[in-house]
Copies of this chain bind each other. A is one copy, B any other.
Amino acid sequence: MKRKNKKSTDKHRRIIAAAVKVFAKNGFYNSKVSEIARAANVADGTIYLYFQNKDDILITLFEEEMQRILDAMRAAIAEHDDPAEKLKAFAKAHLSLLQSNAELAEIIQVELRQSSKFMKEYHNEKFYEYLNLISSIIREGQEKGVFRKDIEPGIAKRAIWGALDEMSRYWVLSSTRKYSIATAADEISSYFLRGMLAA
């Protein structure tokens, strides 16, 4: 590891970390590049040595952070064999990860949905990979006879993701937290696994 290389990587990392903080606090459009620079302890111009423009910071941030989360989710799922357990593990890991990365969660919650000029063009591959983790579990469950065959994985993956995402949004935004992560994850898993009807 040459020092230069280390330094460069370091600045890149610092800028991304600063951007996470700043975007989470103000939202993308209310964040100034100069504020990110200040938070990263670099000069304004330095940002442009590592990123093409402000949009590129956000996109790179997504790519890199989503990859980290994807990896963590895959590891969490891999610990189980039973598809139902996998789904529970997914729910728990999702809520845990987003809670311990509250700022990143905020950005994903908000900017992921941004329909701004550039976001419409940007095809968020990592997000689709994430969603497909869910449908894979469901399909596996259907093959193993654990899940109903008439479930549409394409609908279910969105329903499950939406439910979890909204839950974590609630957590991120609310100051007081009534329920623990484990409780919420189990609760939500149970809706999907057992339904809400009384037995």
Q: Mark A164-186, 1 if CB is under 8 A from B, else 0.
A: 11110110010000110001100
A128 to chain B, nearest CB (A): 11
State whether B158 touches A170 (Cβ < 8 A): yes
In the complex, are the beta carbons of B27 and A114 less than 8 A apart? yes
Chain A contact surface mostly = helix
In the complex, what residues of B have CB within 8 A of residue A138's CB?
Answer: 196
Which chain B residue has the least Cβ–Cβ distance from A24? Answer: B115
Q: How many copies does the complex hold?
A: 4
Given contacts A30-B116, A115-B27, A169-B113, contact A187 B148 (CB under 8 A): no
Is the beta-carbon distance between A191 and B156 smaller than 8 angstroms?
Answer: yes
Q: Which of A127-167 contact B (CB under 8 A)?
A: 138, 141, 145-149, 151-152, 154-156, 158-167
What B residues does A116 contact at CB under 8 A? 26-27, 29-30
Q: Report the separation of the CA atoms of residues A183 and B148 in the bound assembly, to the nearest whole angstrom.
A: 16
**Interface size bracket, A side:** 35 or more
Contacting residues, chain B, for A149 (C-beta < 8 A): 198
CA distance A141 to B179 in the complex (A): 22
> In this assembly, does A199 line the interface, its C-beta being within 8 Å of a C-beta of chain B?
yes
> Assuming the A-B contacts A159-B191, A196-B156, A197-B148, are A27 and B117 also in contact, with contact meaning beta carbons closer than 8 angstroms in the complex?
yes
Q: Pick the contact of A26 from B117, B178, B179 — CB < 8 Å?
A: B117
Interface string of A34-63 (1 = CB under 8 A from B): 000000000000000000000000000000
Write the nearest CB–CB distance from A87 to chain B, whole angstroms.
8
Q: Are A158 and B148 in contact (CB under 8 A)?
A: no
Which residues 83-123 in A have Cβ within 8 Å of B in the complex? 84, 106, 109-110, 113-117, 119
Q: Does A160 lie within 8 Å of B158, measured CB to CB?
A: no
- A188 within 8 Å of B (CB atoms): yes
